[in-house]
Amino acid sequence: MTDITPFLLSLLDLPGLSGYEKPASEMIAKQWQPVVDEITTSTLGSLHGLRKAHGSTKAPRIMIATHMDAIGMMVTKIDQGMLRFTHVGGVDPRILPGQAVIVHGRRVLRGIVQLIPDRLLDSHSAGNAPDYKFLFVDVGLPEKEILKLVQPGDLISFAQNSFEMDGGYVAGHSLDNRASVAALTICLEELRNTELAWDVYAVATIKEEESGLGALTSAYAIRPDIAVTIDVTFAKGPGSTDYRTFPLGKGPSIGVGANIHPVLVSEFTKLAKEMDMPYGMEVMANSSGTDSMMMQITAEGIPNMVLGIPIRYMHTSVELVSVTDIYRTGKLLARFISQLKTDSAKTLFEKFANE
């Protein structure tokens, strides 16, 4: 199998903020081209890779959603030569001071996020985590020049380059959720020479961090019989040790809860045991916080499943993942797809309905 790490590192270094995913989409399309039969783009911009079933024009369909959008920032105004901004997706302002960023104006500008000095704040604000109103980006140019190059609405992305670490880890921004794009790529490579009974739709969705509309609209267009979401989940670390977190390098989490069909939970846990693959059970009692929420309620409703890849430091500029977990997630999904038969949806869900 192809080493997925170079692709992942290159993908992590692209911006592709929520709603502006084209740079990531173009790289993913190039990577998927050899392992799918068709590549199309939805009206809103989600990438669809179709691997057709063998010898069938009316095969059942499975859709795998992995969002490709990234968190970041957007310029709101220019204030005394500094760029004020808001967040695109859930960016924790505590991690922003001192971050190197890229401003995507009329030309690319490198900048630094900084904040009003603590000693100049009033007593109520001093000593606390910074609010966005106290943050700005300095690009090192006079205001007159900035006004020619930057305007409100321009994007700001993290400038931190991705890198490999000892122990089989990769670090970088946008592992949420491009680690899952890598896992789906592994799945497609695993299935390259397999005769499939189902059409497989690999979908790199847009706008998950803001609305989930990419998954909703793609699911409506594809109308899959089963859907699987691959996303990231919280890894264990200092202060992160309860049931909501999972160890790095010990396999994916299998979601269980309101967004997830219990038949699929049973099937995936059974497969993981057959493969002697470690996994965790992720409690998602109310909602999963993933594309699954939107796919479940599309049209007449789509039975779906959530697989989670543990990462540390989620929604920061330097997230961290075990490459082993990416491979295991892709292989587990490939095994599930390869064992689907033409009547699997009927047999699986009719049995559940009659229990």
Q: Are residues 197 and 267 in the same domain?
A: yes
Tell me, what's the pLDDT at 355? 58
Residue 254 in any domain: the answer is yes
Calculate mean pLDDT across residues 240-246: 93
Q: Are residues 60 and 77 in the same domain?
A: no
Residue pair 85/102 in contact by the 8 Å Cβ criterion: no
Q: Are residues 271 and 188 in the same domain?
A: yes
In the predicted model, what is the mean pLDDT of the chain?
Answer: 94
133, 195, 252, 175: which is closest to 4 by C-alpha?
175
Q: Are residues 304 and 232 in the same domain?
A: yes
- The predicted model scores a pTM of 0.94
Rounded percentage of the chain residues whose pLDDT exceeds 70 = 97
Phi, psi dihedral angles at 167 (to 5 degrees): 90, 5
Tell me, what's the pLDDT at 130? 83
Which CATH number goes with the domain that contains 55?
3.40.630.10
Q: Are residues 96 and 60 in the same domain?
A: no
Q: Are residues 65 and 204 in the same domain?
A: yes
Which CATH number goes with the domain that contains 106?
2.40.30.40
Tell me, what's the pLDDT at 116? 83
Domain limit, last residue, from 133, 158, 183: 158
Residue 202 confidence class, pLDDT cut points 50, 70, 90: very high
Domain limit, last residue, from 97, 125, 158: 158
Residue 165 in any domain: the answer is no
The two tokens of residue 228 are: 């699987």
**Which residues in 70-96 are b (16+ Cβ under 10 Å) and which e?**
bbbbbbeebeebbbbbebbbebebebb
Q: Are residues 181 and 265 in the same domain?
A: yes
Instruction: Report in angstroms the alpha-carbon separations of 212 from 7, 79, 136, 298.
Output: 25, 33, 29, 12
For the ranges 39-43, 83-87, 146-150, 347-351, the lowest mean pLDDT is seen at 347-351
Tell me, what's the pLDDT at 353? 62
pLDDT at 136 over 70: yes
Burial class (CB in 10 A: 0-12, 13-18, 19+), 319: buried
Residue 257 in any domain: the answer is yes
pLDDT at 329 over 70: yes
Residue 48 in any domain: the answer is yes
Q: How many domains does the chain contain in total?
A: 2
Q: Are residues 77 and 66 in the same domain?
A: no
137, 182, 154: which is closest to 10 by C-alpha?
182
Residue 229 CB: number of other CB atoms within 10 A?
31
Domain limit, last residue, from 100, 131, 158: 158
Tell me, what's the pLDDT at 153? 97
Residue 124 confidence class, pLDDT cut points 50, 70, 90: low
Residue 224 in any domain: the answer is yes
pLDDT digits (tens, 9 = 90+) for 11-45: 999 999 999 999 999 999 999 999 999 999 999 99
Residue 164 in any domain: the answer is no
Tell me, what's the pLDDT at 320? 97
**CB neighbour list of residue 124: distance below 8 Å, 6 or more residues apart:** none
Q: Are residues 100 and 177 in the same domain?
A: no
Calculate mean pLDDT across residues 245-267: 95
pLDDT digits (tens, 9 = 90+) for 159-175: 999 999 999 999 999 99
180, 56, 158: which is closest to 113 by C-alpha?
158
Segments forming the whole domain that contains residue 180: 5-70+173-354
Residue 88 in any domain: the answer is yes
Q: Are residues 152 and 32 in the same domain?
A: no
Residue 97 in any domain: the answer is yes
pLDDT digits (tens, 9 = 90+) for 53-97: 998 778 999 999 999 999 999 999 999 999 999 999 999 888 999
Q: Are residues 106 and 206 in the same domain?
A: no
Q: Are residues 222 and 282 in the same domain?
A: yes
Tell me, what's the pLDDT at 349? 81
User: What whole-number distance in Å separates Cα of residue 317 and Cα of residue 329?
Assistant: 23
pLDDT at 126 over 90: no
pLDDT at 121 over 90: no
